[in-house]
C-alpha cells in the first residue's frame, strides 16, 4: 500500500472511483462529491492524496482550502483569522477495501502534510456516518455544532486547532440516536470528543 499526493494524471481514476462509490451509497445524503474542477484545485494545492494497492487507486482523501468559508461561523472564538482555516474534505475508499483503516491512514498522512499557515482544521460529517465520525475523533477533531450545510444536509461540524492538546474534563455519554440531548449539549457549549460503543462522549 502506498499513499502519495495525486497529480493530474490521476484525475480520471479518482473520478471513476468517486462515481462508483456514489452509485453504491445507500444514503445519498451522506456524500457530497467533488467536481473535476474541485479535484484539480485540491491536487494543485497539494492537499489531495491517493492510496494505491498494486498500482490501483483504492482510495483518496482530500483537504480543501476554502475560498468562501462557510464553517468558521460555528467557532465560538470570534478572534480567529479565517485565512488560517483548512477543511478536511472528502474521503473515498473502494467498497472492497473498507474496514482496513485506509481512511484513517490517509488522514494521518495528510494531516502531517497540512500546508504551512493553516492552523484551524474544520470538517462536516453526516451524523450516521460512524466511520467518518470515528476518523475525525482519531485525528483529534471535536464536534462543536450540528446544523444543515450544503443546502439541506444535516451535518456535525468538527474543529481542531493544529497541535492542540486537549485536556478532557468530566465526561457525559449520550447515545448517538439521542438527537434531542446531543443538540441540547451542543447548544450549551459542550463539545463531543469521542465515540465509544455508539455513545458520543461530551465534555466542556
Ligand atoms: C467512510 C469511508 C471513507 C471509511 O473508509 P474505511 O477505510 O473503511 O474506514 P476505516 O477503516 O479507517 O474506519 C474507521 C473506523 O470506522 C469503523 N467503521 C468502518 N466502517 C464502518 C461502518 N460502516 N459502521 C461503523 N463503523 C465503521 C472502523 O471499524 C474504524 O473504527 P476503529 O477506529 O474503532 O477501528 C468509506 O466507508 C467510504 O468510502 N464511504 C463512502 C463515502 C463516504 O461516505 N465518505 C465520507 C464522507 S466524505
Cα of 40 to ligand 1 centre, how many Å? 25
Does one domain contain both 127 and 183? Answer: no
Does one domain contain both 162 and 184? Answer: no
Segment 97-121, tens digit of pLDDT: 999 999 999 999 999 999 999 999 9
**What mean pLDDT comes out for the span 52-60?**
96
Does one domain contain both 137 and 178? Answer: no
**Cell numbers given for 9:** 494524471
Residue 160 has pLDDT above 90, yes or no: yes
Residue labelled with grid coordinates 462509490: 21
Q: Which of 20, 23, 130, 131 to mutate to test the pocket of ligand 1 (most atoms within 8 A of CB)?
A: 131
Residue 168 has pLDDT above 90, yes or no: no
Does one domain contain both 152 and 77? Answer: yes
Does one domain contain both 65 and 151? Answer: yes
Q: What's the pLDDT band for 28 if we cut at 50, 70, 90?
A: confident
Does one domain contain both 91 and 183? Answer: no
Q: Quote the number of domains for the chain.
A: 2
Q: Which atom of ligand 1 is nearest to the CA of 93?
A: 39
Does one domain contain both 12 and 39? Answer: yes
Residue 166 has pLDDT above 80, yes or no: no
Does one domain contain both 35 and 55? Answer: yes
Cα of 171 to ligand 1 centre, how many Å? 25
Return the pLDDT at 84: 94
Domain span at residue 128? 2-166
Residue 187 has pLDDT above 80, yes or no: yes
Return the pLDDT at 42: 98
Rounded CA gap, 70 and 84, in Å? 14
Cα of 144 to ligand 1 centre, how many Å? 21
Q: Regarding beta strands 56-64 and 48-53, do their DSSP bridges make them parallel or antiparallel, or are they unpaired?
A: antiparallel
Does one domain contain both 162 and 175? Answer: no
Does one domain contain both 173 and 113? Answer: no
Amino acid at each position: 500500500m502506498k499513499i502519495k499526493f495525486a497529480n493530474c494524471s490521476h484525475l480520471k481514476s479518482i473520478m471513476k472511483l468517486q462515481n462508483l462509490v456514489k452509485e453504491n451509497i445507500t444514503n445519498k445524503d451522506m456524500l457530497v462529491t467533488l467536481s473535476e474542477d474541485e479535484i484539480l484545485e485540491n491536487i494543485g494545492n497539494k492537499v489531495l492524496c491517493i492510496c494505491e494497492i498494486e498500482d490501483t487507486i483504492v482510495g483518496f482523501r482530500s483537504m480543501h482550502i476554502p475560498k468562501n468559508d462557510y464553517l468558521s461561523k460555528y467557532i465560538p472564538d470570534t478572534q480567529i483569522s479565517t485565512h488560517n482555516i483548512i477543511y478536511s474534505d472528502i474521503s473515498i475508499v473502494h467498497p472492497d477495501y473498507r474496514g482496513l483503516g485506509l481512511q484513517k491512514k490517509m488522514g494521518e498522512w495528510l494531516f502531517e502534510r497540512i500546508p504551512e499557515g493553516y492552523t484551524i482544521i474544520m470538517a462536516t460529517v453526516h451524523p450516521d456516518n460512524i466511520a467518518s465520525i470515528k476518523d475525525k475523533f482519531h485525528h483529534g477533531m471535536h464536534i462543536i455544532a450540528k446544523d444543515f450545510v450544503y443546502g439541506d444536509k444535516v451535518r456535525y461540524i468538527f474543529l481542531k486547532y493544529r497541535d492542540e492538546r486537549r485536556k478532557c474534563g468530566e465526561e457525559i455519554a449520550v447515545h448517538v440516536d439521542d438527537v434531542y440531548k446531543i443538540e441540547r449539549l451542543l447548544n450549551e457549549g459542550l463539545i463531543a470528543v469521542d465515540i465509544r460503543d455508539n455513545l458520543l462522549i461530551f465534555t466542556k
